[in-house]
Amino acid sequence: MTTNASPYIPNTDAERELMLAAIGVGSFDDLVHDVPAQHRFPELDLRPSLSEFELSTEIGALASRNVTPGEYACFLGAGAYRHYIPSVVKSVVARGEFLTSYTPYQPEVAQGTLQVGFEFQSMICEITGMEVANAGMYDGPTAFAEGALMACRVTRRQTIAVLDTVEIRNVSILDAYARHQGIEIVVIGHADDLPENAACLMFQSPNQFGGIEDMAALADKAHAAGALAVASVNPTSLGMFRTPGECDVDIVAAEGQALGVPLSFGGPYVGLFACKDAHKRQMPGRIIGRTTDTKGRAGYALTLQTREQHIRRERATSNICTSTALIGLLMTTYLAVIGKAGFRKVAELCYHKAHYAASEIDRLPGYSVATDGPFFHEFLVECPRPPAEINRVLLNREIIGGHDLSDRTTNGMLICVTETNTRAEIDALVSALAEIGASN
C-alpha cells in the first residue's frame, strides 16, 4: 500500500485499509489503476525548499515590487475603489469570533454571525431603497448575472436585453451564466430597442463611462414591455443620487467592495442583491430573519434558502455556495461606523473632487471630458496619446493613472477620484497630463 507521510493527511494505515475495504478495493494502487502510470506520481520540477525565514524574505521582496494606492496617488477605479476605512473596522473584524465565521449552517451556535447578516441586509435595503435584500453574493458582477436569471424565472422569458453602456466584464460574466441555459443575450444601444420578448432590461449606473443613467426612465421602458428592470449600481453613489427603489427598479445588484473592503487584487469581495418584495421567492442565496424565542428574546435564523443543497434541485434558484459573511461584516461595520451622515459626506467628497479634476483636465490642450451628462466620481477623458503610454509616464511620477478604455473609444481613459485623493494629488495629475500632452 502507498504510504503518505504528510502531516496534513492524518489518516493511519489502519484507517486507509478500512476505507479501501469499504469500497471494495484491495489497495491504493488498485484504486487509481485507471490513471495512466506516468501521470500517477509524476516528477515535479520544484525548487529546493526554503526555510521560513528565507521564504518570508523572498515573499517580502516580491511584494515590495508592487505599486500600491496610498504610496502612489491613485486614479484607477473601474469597479474597485480606494476609500478610507476607519481603523475600528479592522479591529472589529479581527476578533476571533468573526474570523472563524463562514456560513451559519447551525443558527443556534451562530447568532452573532446571523445578527450581522440581518443588519447587512437591512443596510442594503436602506441604501438601495429596495424592500428585500439577501445575505450576500460572491461579488457585484455575479450578482448582476443572477439578477438576469431571476428575471427570466419571474417573467418566464428567455431573452435578456443589456444596454451597451454596461461594463464589458459584467456582460462576459452574464454570458457565462446564461449560455448553457438557453438564454439569449441581446446588447442594445437604447431602451427603445428593447425586444418584445425580453425578460429584463439590464443597465449600469454609473455606467462604464462614468455616466449616471436615468434609472426611472429605463424602468418605465422595461415595464411597458412587460420586462423587469435590473440595475447594477455603485453603492457609494447612492449617498447622494436617487436610489433604485425610488426609480421603480425591480432587481438591484452591486459590488460592496467600496463600502469598507480593502483593495486586494480582485477579491474576496461581496456582492449586494436586493429586489421588490413581490419577487423575493425567486431570489438567489439566503435571507436571514429575526424572530423571538420561547423566552421572548431576539433570535436570528435562515428564513429562506434557495440553494440546491437545501431544497430539491429542480426548485433551486441558484447554486451559490457562500454568503461571504466575513466580507459582509467588513461592509456592515464600515456603514455602522460612518453612519448616514458620513455615508453622504463620502459621496459628496467623491463628487466634488471628481468634478474639480474633470474641470481642470478639460481645460488642457488635447484632452476633453467625454462622459455624457452627469457623473459621480468617474469620468471618461479623450487623450492626445494612447492611455497605455500616458499611464507609463504617470507611473514614473508615482501616479497610478486611469483605466484604459481605448478598446471602446479612441484614446479613452476612465479617471476615478475618491475622497482619498487630495487636491495636491489632483493638481499633480493635471500638471503631469499637461506635460505629456505638450510633448505629443
Task: Write the DSSP string, 87-141.
Answer: HHHHHHHTSHHHHT----S-GGG-HHHHHHHHHHHHHHHHHHT-SEE-S-BS-HH
The pLDDT value recorded for residue 1 is: 45
For the 73-84+340-438 domain, the top CATH level (class) is alpha beta
Q: What are phi and psi of 139, to 5 degrees?
A: -165, 180
- Lookup: cell for 392: 507609463
Query: Regarding predicted confidence, which is higher, 114 or 144?
Result: 144
The pLDDT value recorded for residue 105 is: 62
Tell me what the mean pLDDT of segment 319-340 comes to. 87
- For 317-391, list the strands marked E by DSSP: 368-369, 378-382
Q: Are 375 and 211 in contact (CB under 8 A)?
A: yes
262 vs 82: CA distance, rounded Å: 7
- Lookup: cell for 140: 457585484
259 vs 255: CA distance, rounded Å: 9
- Lookup: cell for 168: 464589458
Is residue 427's pLDDT more than 70? yes
Tell me what the mean pLDDT of segment 394-401 comes to. 97
Which amino acid is located at 84 in the chain?
A: Y
Show Cβ contacts of residue 126 under 8 Å, excluding neighbours closer than 6 positions.
none
- At 218-252, the pLDDT tens digits run 999 999 999 999 999 999 999 999 999 999 999 99
Q: What is the pTM of this model?
A: 0.88
The pLDDT value recorded for residue 418 is: 98
Q: What is the DSSP letter of 355?
A: H
Q: Are 66 and 75 in contact (CB under 8 A)?
A: no
Tell me what the mean pLDDT of segment 412-425 comes to. 98
- At 146-193, the pLDDT tens digits run 999 999 999 999 999 999 999 999 999 999 999 989 999 999 999 999
* Mean of the per-residue pLDDT values of the chain: 92
Tell me what the mean pLDDT of segment 416-431 comes to. 98
Which contiguous run of DSSP H or E holds residue 200?
strand 198-205
Where do the structural domains in the chain lie, given as residue ranges? 73-84+340-438, 87-334
182 vs 34: CA distance, rounded Å: 35
Query: Regarding predicted confidence, which is higher, 123 or 98?
Result: 123
Query: Burial of 407 by CB count in 10 Å (0-12 exposed, 13-18 middle, 19+ buried)?
Result: exposed
Length of the chain: 440
Is residue 140's pLDDT more than 70? yes
pLDDT tier, 3 (very low <50, low <70, confident <90, very high otherwise)? low
Q: Does domain 87-334 have CATH number 3.40.640.10?
A: yes
